[in-house]
Amino acid sequence: MSTLKDKIILVTGSSRGIGATIARQLAAAGAKVIVNYAGGKDAAQQVVADIKQQGGDAIALQADVSKSDEVKALFDAAIAHYGRIDVLVNNAGIMITKLIKDTTDEDFTRQFDINVRGTFNTMREAATRLADKGSIINFSTSVNRIMLPAYGTYVATKAAVEQLTRVFSKEVGARGINVNSVAPVATNTELFTNGKSEEVIARLASLSAFNRIGEPDDIAQVVVFLAGDDAKWINAQNIGVNGGMA
């Protein structure tokens, strides 16, 4: 039974949504957490304040993961503060749901820049700068398995993340680093509920064996497991966290 005590964990995009819940749960399990944000400074500082109030340790660091120089600076600042990084959680991501015919060049580029290039940028830094025996947890989506209209570009980005995950695990395995992805679906966050009617949400909930959509805690607790040493032998896997939907 592993604890996360003394592990230094970087969670990208953790000022809000699933990322903020992950940061809180990791801290509650004993980890020191780097709360990364792109624009939500106040929200990130609130997450840090909440963690500290519970007796935990965290700092907030700004970086747009889609920019390699900012990611490099993020690793510099995190390592300067905590001495090392043990676990990288690539949670930052955006979702734009439009039919392919309606998707603009900018919609396409923004999603690939943040979801794929962002994950690529942090993994490229992690390849040489994450501590030996560290762990990396990427974010895919279970929508990859159910083929919903209007999610085409989004699932394309996440398919790329899954493939990067599998290949990167072979490249860093010799340092004892394991690399996995989790695949949530329909989770009760702003990213998902924005612009959806109750009826649409109920229909998506009905696809789960538990007849509900996911909560951020459902996803975060799986990340807690994957961040610990008990999960070390799980490597290059994609884990659906979807209530049996797919």
Partner 1 sequence: MNSLKNKVALITGSARGLGKAIAERYAALGADVVVNYSKDKASADEVVSNITAMGARVIAVQADVSKVADLEKLFAAAKEAFGKIDIVVANAGIEMVEVPVTDFTEEQFDKVFSINTKGTYFTMQQAAKHVSHNGRIIYIASSTTSFPVPGMAVYGGSKTTPRYLVDILSKEIGHKGITVNSIIPFAVDHSGIFADPAAYPALRKQLLDSCPMGRLAEVEDVANLAEFFASDLSSFVSGQHLLVNGGATN
Q: Which residue, 59 or 224, is less far from partner 1 as judged by CB?
A: 224
Q: Which residues of 73-110 are buried (b: 16+ CB within 10 A; e: fewer)?
A: ebbebbbeebeebbbbbbbbbbbebbeeeebeeebbee
Q: Is 61 in the site for partner 1 (CB under 8 A)?
A: no
What DSSP line would sit under 147-196, residue for residue? --TT-HHHHHHHHHHHHHHHHHHHHHGGGT-EEEEEEE-SBSSHHHHTT-
For position 210 contacting partner 1 by CB under 8 A, the verdict is yes
Q: Based on the shown chain and the rule CB under 8 A, indicate whether residue 2 belongs to the binding site for partner 1.
A: yes
State the nearest-atom distance from the C-beta of 220 to partner 1, in Å: 9
Complex with partner 1: residue 195 or 244, whichever CB lies closer: 244
A 10 A CB-CB count for 197 gives 9
CA distances (Å), origin 237, targets 53, 161, 197:
35, 12, 33
| Catalytic annotation present for 154 | yes
Q: Candidates 20, 38, 59, 231: give the one binding partner 1 (CB under 8 A).
A: 231
Count, residues near partner 1 per rule CB under 8 A: 40
164 near partner 1, judged by CB under 8 A: no
The yes or no reply on residue 27 touching partner 1 (CB under 8 A) is no
Scanning the structure block, which residue is given the tokens 């676990």?
87
What is the residue type of 102?
Answer: D
The answer to the question of residue 219 lying near partner 1 (CB under 8 A) is: yes
CB 217 within 8 A of CB 25: yes
| Structure letter (DSSP) for residue 214 | B
Q: Which of 105, 190, 199, 233 binds partner 1 (CB under 8 A)?
A: 233
Q: Cβ(42)–Cβ(49) under 8 Å?
A: no
**Type of residue found at 139:** F
Residue 162 found at the interface with partner 1 (CB under 8 A): no
Q: Taking CB under 8 A as the rule, which mask of x and - marks residues 71-110 in contact with partner 1?
A: ----------------------------------------
Identified binder of partner 1 from the candidate list 144, 178, 181, 189, rule CB under 8 A? 178
Taking CB under 8 A as the rule, does residue 203 contact partner 1? no
Q: Is 236 in the site for partner 1 (CB under 8 A)?
A: yes
**Is 96:107 a contact under the CB 8 Å cutoff?**
yes
Which tokens hold the place of 184? 């949530």
Binding of partner 1 by 143 (CB under 8 A) = no
Q: Judged by CB under 8 A, does residue 239 bind partner 1? A: yes
Instruction: Write out the residues near partner 1 by the rule CB under 8 A.
Output: 1-3, 29, 169-170, 173-174, 176, 178-179, 208-211, 214-215, 218-219, 221-222, 224-225, 228, 230-237, 239-246
| Residues noted as catalytic | 154
